[in-house]
Amino acid sequence: MNPRPAPHAAIEPQPDAIVRSARAVIATEAAAIAELEPRIGAAFVEACRLLLACRGRVVVTGMGKSGHVARKIAATLASTGTPAFFVHPGEASHGDLGMIQPDDVVLALSYSGETDELLFILPMIKRQGIPLIALTGKPGSSLAGQADVHLDGSISNEACPLGLAPTTSTTAALVLGDALAIALLEARGFTSDDFARSHPAGSLGRRLLLRISDVMHAGDNVPRVPPEASLTAALVEMTRKHLGMTAVVDAEDRLLGVFTDGDLRRALDDEDVNLRGATVAELMTRGPKTIGPDKLAAEAAQLMEKHQIHALLVVDEERRVVGALNIHDLLRARVV
């Protein structure tokens, strides 16, 4: 039987040393990123030209840590208007090469530029006439030499004190990938609405896509009373519709004002108000905050927060009441 390995002795952390180490990593990687900026020039522009002209998809590939970065770059490209996906170079030589088509563009990542799995599939890529963009740290490498465009991601040193773990080099590659994605986004005129359409399930998608008409109460579910309604009638309507307020409308359903829980409290506190004889028109708030049905639900949240209110009436262009919503509707829709 193999002897059971002895457990590692507990190491007492040294706070000062830990802070120094972390700060050194950040400083090293920040300096490497700064060194990338002067290299953005003709090669970067040509890479963007190839990607913009791509009639298929951008195939991003890489091994090891470069592969992880390649996956992230592919995801960022895809979510910002450039169709892209990741192909593992090892799997490519065992069938996945069929995923790469003549209309595609390949973006290959390898700091050394000598990754065997990448070099093995290059002849098949080149034979199909597929444009190749290489992102390496070695401009004289085999991968860089075979590429149509080479992006220089070289660094002075890794943040790892042993010089072994890819740290600064992967950060530099990631930043160049982000630079490509954003340059392409701006060149395409990609908008926040476009972004939301590819993120419909996320909170950002909800904020950018969900309209007032999607979350508001409409039809008979909207509390409304005429101006001559009694206080009792207004309270019954508010209670029945569960929105903490009621619209006060004329015969054509045009908004005259709103009566809220706050208006009720103020009326109860005012000795001059005849609660039995007063009409809702005498107690309502005139000129209430409203919103249109085509506005974003996120705008309703901003309006409520700005004016410290909890409900809004929805009106059309002629000030007719078409809906109502409160903060709970926005919470259920996960807009706030």
What pLDDT is attached to residue 191? 67
What pLDDT is attached to residue 133? 98
What pLDDT is attached to residue 217? 93
Between the alpha carbon of residue 223 and those of residues 184, 219, 241, 249, the distances in Å are 49, 9, 6, 10
Cβ(169)–Cβ(62) below 8 Å: no
How confident is the model over 156-161, as a mean pLDDT? 91
What pLDDT is attached to residue 331? 87
- Rounded Cα distance between 65 and 137, Å, is 14
Please say if the pLDDT value at position 66 is more than 80: yes
Backbone torsions φ then ψ of 172, nearest 5 degrees: -60, -40
What pLDDT is attached to residue 97? 84
Tokens of 261: 């829980």
Instruction: Give the contacts of 242 (CB within 8 A, at least 6 positions apart).
Output: none
Tokens of 222: 């909207």
What pLDDT is attached to residue 334? 78
Per the model's pLDDT, the better-predicted residue between 315 and 204 turns out to be: 315
Instruction: Please report the DSSP string for 123-169 in residue order.
Output: HHHHHTT--EEEEES-TTSHHHHH-SEEEE---S--SSTTS-S-SHH
What pLDDT is attached to residue 277? 82
- Rounded Cα distance between 195 and 206, Å, is 11
* Least confident span in 78-87, 127-136, 198-207, 325-334: 198-207
What pLDDT is attached to residue 332? 84
- Rounded Cα distance between 61 and 177, Å, is 12
pLDDT in tens, 237-283: 999 998 989 999 999 999 999 999 888 888 888 877 787 888 999 99
Question: Average pLDDT of the chain?
Answer: 89
How confident is the model over 16-44, as a mean pLDDT? 95
Please say if the pLDDT value at position 127 is more than 70: yes
Rg (CA), the chain: 31
